Structure 1
Amino acid sequence: MGKSGFPRLLHPTVDAVNVRDVAVFYGELLGLNYDADVADGEPQWVELVDSTGAVRLAVQRVDSLTQTTWPSPDVPMQLHLEFIVDSRDELSRHVERACALGAIVLMDRSDERDEQVFVLADPAGHPFCLLSRV
């Protein structure tokens, strides 16, 4: 536990049927590194680390995964990641990058005045937000 007596978040973990694809997607999207062995075979667990070696995200294998239907309430999001960038230009650039890496846009609220938000789904269908507050 932390000095405050409260637990600290270690890292989020994303379930995936295809761990390699999801790890590569988030590694490329966020500039994180992962074990080179990810390219070979299908691992059960992958940790994505930053330049200091701190684990920022993990991906674990599951046999099946019901993809969210959000914004339809049939299968809710349950959990999602939110990433913030510093400008509208960066937001557009990162949304384009995410789509080039295999994401799809679920919602575009980039026309909002105070907070521009794109809700996307990664290649395994996990929703995540890219946003800018300018």
Structure 2
Amino acid sequence: MPSFDDVPQLLQTVIDTPAPRELAEFYRSLLGLHYRDGDAPDSDETEQPEWLVLTAEDGTRRLAFQLVPDLPRPQWPTGSPPQMLHLDLTVDATATLEQQRARAIRLGATVLTDRSDDVDEPLIVFADPSGHPFCIFVAPHTPSQ
């Protein structure tokens, strides 16, 4: 097994979108992230920025958003263009899943699939404002393994 120093390190996950500011705002609010210094919205902003980065509170990069003006909305679960990747987000209980459903919808997400009543793995698949699927599911333990 290679050591930590022998392999590339993940800096961030980049999401292509025709609307970087709107998508960054969606994920900033949903996940409680912060803008990298210099990336916060400007009151004079009239054009879409080409690149934005969101960080954790400690400054660790989490998500970036890249302007792709003519990007078609991904289709899920079937269709063209298909999703290329998605984010898996977890909560610790079904009641929290329901709270997060309401938050995600209020922030601009749409529900694609609702399996919140599944006894083995309650989950909801959403589309973010640019159409990228993401899942929120119940996992009682922190996914640090």
**TM-score, normalised on structure 2?**
0.85
Report the Cα offset of residue 36 of structure 1: 2.1
Q: Aligned residue for 1:61?
A: 67
Q: Deviations over 1:79-102 (max 9, x none)?
A: 111111111111111111010000
Partners of 1:56 and 1:92 lie apart in 2 by: 24
Cα RMSD of the aligned pairs, angstroms, is: 1.8
Between structure 1 and structure 2, the one with the greater Rg is: 2
The 1:38–1:30 alpha-carbon spacing in structure 2 relative to 1, beyond 3 Å, is: farther
**Aligned-partner SS, 2:69:** coil
1:86 to 84, 92, 104: 92
1:114 to 112, 120, 134: 120
1:11-30, aligned counterparts within 5 Å? 11-30=12-31
1:32-43, aligned counterparts within 5 Å? 32-34=33-35, 35-37=39-41, 40-41=45-46, 42-43=48-49
Q: Deviations over 1:10-29 (max 9, x none)?
A: 11100110111000000000
The 1:103–1:77 alpha-carbon spacing in structure 2 relative to 1, beyond 3 Å, is: same
Partners of 1:18 and 1:83 lie apart in 2 by: 22
**Aligned-partner SS, 1:108:** strand
Q: How many residues align?
A: 134
Q: Deviations over 1:49-99 (max 9, x none)?
A: 111011110001012111122112433211111111111111111111010
Q: Which stretch of structure 1 is more off in the superposition, 4-13 or 19-28?
A: 4-13
Q: Aligned residue for 1:99?
A: 105
The 1:91–1:2 alpha-carbon spacing in structure 2 relative to 1, beyond 3 Å, is: farther
Given that 2:75 and 2:131 are in contact with CA atoms closer than 8 Å, whether structure 1 keeps it comes out as no
Q: Deviations over 1:94-113 (max 9, x none)?
A: 11101000000000111111
Partners of 1:14 and 1:38 lie apart in 2 by: 21
Consecutive unaligned residues in structure 1, runs of 5 or more: none
Which amino acid counterpart does residue 92 of structure 1 have in structure 2?
E
**TM-score, normalised on structure 1?**
0.91
